[in-house]
Amino acid sequence: MKKTLPAILLTLITASCSGWVIQPGPFNPPTPFLPPTNTPSIFTPTPVVIGASPTWTPQIATSTPIPFITATTAPTIVFPTLAPTDTPITVVTQTSVSTVPSVSVEILGCNTSIDVTHGMGEVTNAYVTLRNTGMIELTNLKVTLSALDEGREHPDKTVEVPSLLAGYRVMLKLTVDSTYQAETPIQIEVTADGGLFQRVGADSCRDIGLFAPKPEELGTPVADNP
């Protein structure tokens, strides 16, 4: 402790020679402030590549010369004039099917009765239906009943129909003088302005029974059922 105190005093005394208790360190004068200089930026353009693209080879278009077409005038065709001839032209005409008359006859049945009005015994009554199956009107139709064993001519042996339109039908009752209780073969004949249409016969006319047409239904044309 005694040795340390004199050493401290010696140090203080030595330092007091310059007037500073603590000597300042060496001082460098400040460098004057200079503004910074801007270094110019150098931009190098770099191409932007988007994907890989095939190498394009420029095509050189060449024009093909179009040949010159010379217009030519088409030749005029002169047709010879045909002189009229005196040969007549034959026109073939065909009769339309719609103008052909057509009729059908249906024997509905027969029955027998005693005709005292005309002084006859047993007579045979035949009921028929006449149809106009053509496309034109039938006029002055005559329907005649004949029997194999026929006696005297009955007034109702023939019935006339003045007109029967196309698509119409008419029911008729015809009567002949016949043999008593004997099978009577009959025949129906139809004629008109166009001549004979047809004949329809029956070896044995069946008994019509209760299915005989009513008197008011006979002789009146009506529209045929489709």
Domain with residue 155: its CATH number is 2.60.40.10
- Residue 184 included in any domain: yes
- Residue 34 included in any domain: no
What's the pTM value of the predicted model, to 2 decimals? 0.56
Give me the sign of the Cα torsion angle 176, 180, 181, 184: negative
Domain count, the chain: 1
- Any idea which of 8-12, 162-166, 175-179, 186-190 has the lowest mean pLDDT? 8-12
What percent helix, strand, coil does the chain show, rounded to 5?
10, 30, 60
- Residue 190 included in any domain: yes
Sort strands 186-192 and 122-132 into parallel, antiparallel or unpaired.
unpaired
- Residue 173 included in any domain: yes
Q: Assign 203 a pLDDT band (cuts: 50, 70, 90).
A: confident
d(CA 75, CA 116): 101
- Residue 220 included in any domain: no
- Residue 35 included in any domain: no
**What pLDDT is recorded for position 125?**
93
Per-residue pLDDT of 56-75, as tens digits, reads: 454 555 555 555 455 555 55
Cα angle: 179, vertex 180, 183; to 5 degrees: 65
As a whole number, the mean pLDDT across the chain is 73
d(CA 164, CA 112): 28
- Residue 167 included in any domain: yes
- Any idea which of 34-38, 146-150, 216-220 has the lowest mean pLDDT? 34-38
d(CA 205, CA 188): 12
Which comes out higher in pLDDT, residue 5 or 128? 128
Which comes out higher in pLDDT, residue 31 or 133? 133
d(CA 126, CA 212): 10
**Listed ranges 70-79, 166-175, 188-197; the one with the highest mean pLDDT:** 166-175
| Structural domain harbouring 160 | 99-207
Q: Which long-range CB contacts under 8 A does 163-167 form with residues at least 24 apart?
A: 163/137, 163/138, 163/139, 163/221, 164/103, 164/130, 164/132, 164/137, 164/138, 164/139, 164/221, 165/132, 165/137, 165/221, 166/132, 166/134, 166/135, 166/136, 166/137, 167/132, 167/223, 167/224
- pLDDT at 221 exceeding the cut of 80: yes
- Residue 54 included in any domain: no
